[in-house]
Amino acid sequence: MRKLIIAIIAVGLLAIAPAPAQAAPTWYEGSVKYSSILNCVSIIQGAPYYEYGVGAYAGYRGDSSAGSPAPGEVYWLHIVVYGMGNACSGQYVSPEFVLPANTTTAIDATHKIQCYATGVADPGDCPSSLSSGPNGGLTVLSPDTAHARMWPLPQGKNWEWQIPVISDRPLTGSIFGGYLTVADGNSNPTIALTQNAYVFAKSPQVSYTAPSTTSITNTGAVSTATLYSGGLAGTGYFDIGTTTSYGLFSDSVTIPAGGPYWQPYTDWKKTDNSSVLQAGRTYHWRFRYVIGANTYYGADQTFTTTGSTSTTPPTTTPTATPTSTPTTTPANPGAPSARISAVPLWVTNTSQRISWGGTAGTSALANYDVRYRKASWKGGYGSYVSWKSATTATSATMNLAAGSSYCFSSRARGSNGLVSAWTAETCLNTPIDDRTLRAKGTWKKSTSVKAYAHTLRTATKAKVSLRASGASVRRLALLVTKVRNGGSVVVKVGSRVLGTYKLSANSTKNRALITLPILSSSTTATIAITTTSSKKVVIDGLLVSRK
């Protein structure tokens, strides 16, 4: 439906950095995070001092020179923790993995969970499956029921846990990692670990959302595919029928160059807006992607319409004419093709320039249609709105409402009257203004011409928060004003802690965007932004995307 845009973040390793890169494949590691404890001996001697308790990091195993891992290929994630300090009560740890986006575990007889105690395999204590963790991830439990199934970590020792996973699509800097819960008799912290995963596209691939078909009625349904095009332009087709021979109808969509992925969908309607579906029937469908002489097929999908089977034959003959092409399909050399330029995922202005274009078929390009659909930050998308109709322009500026998602698509029309299919969508999201967020505790309201919507909220106390209740979210970002000696905030989605983020800079930075880790799937939850100290925190807005 739009290009996946994820920031690539460079991370460094400090103090107990993992071993240098070896011959491929190798481990690609995130930065080391530490806990802090009081040294036990120093307490006994009456001169207590703090030291590192544990140091931990997360990583994944791959070989970028060989394009590995690729979609459908098993690879490994791990969490490593070192016991660094001497706590009077000893230390116990519990690892919790948070998988990259569109990734699942691949545990089987060949690929088992691996546990290593200071470099030595420990299959006797290693579980055969993962358990649900307190932060929404997957936990490796120890057999030690006397210590809440946590793993003992003496000073000078270390644990490593490896799990096999598989991604169904290419990933570019997909943030993953986990949480390490530490019981140390001091602050008993939960440490957030992060790293970026890369899964390399070797050829276009088709997969599906779960569920792949929604909004099912007697004669209606919406089916969605996920296409990893490898950046190659082509034409996608939704094929449907009552058997795996399909043949009832084909709906096409033009996929422009770029990517890495798109999410086209169909409502199974023809150009006259009539549905090809009948009540009480089971349908088979698939998505296929055509690039020149090559075709890439998705797996067969099924759904059943509601109601009773009609005995009345359809009033129109089944056709292979695509939804958005009134007189011909894009495969017809006489029809033009359309394209639309990708828009940024996050837009912090009140307007955005949208650009589109096309390639002529057997006649010159005459004009274009551009449409959009819109959703609020806690609501669903509405119907399509025609924005530009039969326009000869190839760009225009759209005024944008706060806290909204806009998805744009276009089609091209030739001078001979032939019309292309609608392009895949490209989507943007605008900030929820700070004034819309619900405040808990003391926040000072202020205005600034440099701020989004010219408003800001400032806190100088610890544990005060701003909240967005009932947000539809998968990706999110903070819009802040960074200041000298600024404080930090903890961001939570529901009960899951995404991390702690510093809002400090050497000089004032307005409309600073902080991109947060992606969730594994879209969810409806309360987002909470909470200060950690009395240092100054300035919040301008919050951006959320449900995709």
Q: What six digits make up the tokens of 319?
A: 């056709």
How many residues does the structure list for the chain?
547
Q: What percent of the chain has pLDDT over 70?
A: 89
* Nearest residue to 66 (alpha-carbon basis) of 25, 120, 15: 25
Could you tell me the CA-to-CA distances from 71 to 2, 171, 205, 232, 317 in Å, in that order?
Answer: 19, 9, 8, 17, 40
What would the pLDDT profile of 208-248 be if each residue is shown by its tens digit?
Answer: 877 889 888 999 998 988 887 766 788 999 999 999 889 99
Q: How distant is the alpha carbon of residue 238 from its chain centre?
A: 24
Exposure string for 424-450, b = 16+ CB within 10 A, e = fewer? bbbbbbbbbbbebbebeeebeeeeeee
How far is it, in rounded angstroms, from Cα 85 to Cα 51?
6
Q: Cα angle at 339 between 519 and 395, to 5 degrees? A: 95
Q: Cα angle at 137 between 132 and 140, to 5 degrees? A: 60
* Nearest residue to 89 (alpha-carbon basis) of 183, 187, 2: 183
What would the pLDDT profile of 440-479 be if each residue is shown by its tens digit?
Answer: 999 999 999 999 999 999 999 999 999 999 999 988 999 9
State whether residue 454 is helix, strand or coil. Answer: helix
How far is it, in rounded angstroms, from Cα 457 to Cα 452?
11
Which domains does the chain show, CATH number per domain? 26-199 (2.60.40.1510), 205-304 (2.60.40.2060), 337-429 (2.60.40.10), 432-545 (2.60.120.260)
State whether residue 488 is helix, strand or coil. Answer: strand
What would the pLDDT profile of 272-297 be if each residue is shown by its tens digit?
Answer: 788 999 999 999 999 999 988 888 89
Which of the two residues, 4 and 109, has the higher pLDDT score? 109
What would the pLDDT profile of 367-393 be if each residue is shown by its tens digit?
Answer: 999 999 999 999 888 888 999 999 999
Is the separation of the CB atoms in 368 and 358 below 8 Å? yes
Place of tokens 């961001």: 491
What would the pLDDT profile of 484-501 be if each residue is shown by its tens digit?
Answer: 999 999 999 998 888 888
What would the pLDDT profile of 394-437 be if each residue is shown by its tens digit?
Answer: 999 999 999 999 999 999 998 888 888 888 888 999 999 999 99
Q: What six digits make up the tokens of 44?
A: 């006994």
Q: What percent of the chain has pLDDT over 90?
A: 57
Q: What's residue 17's pLDDT?
A: 38
pTM > 0.75: yes or no: no
Instruction: Determine how many CB atoms are found less than 10 A away from the CB of residue 123.
Output: 11
Q: What is the DSSP pairing of strand 523-531 with strand 465-473?
A: antiparallel
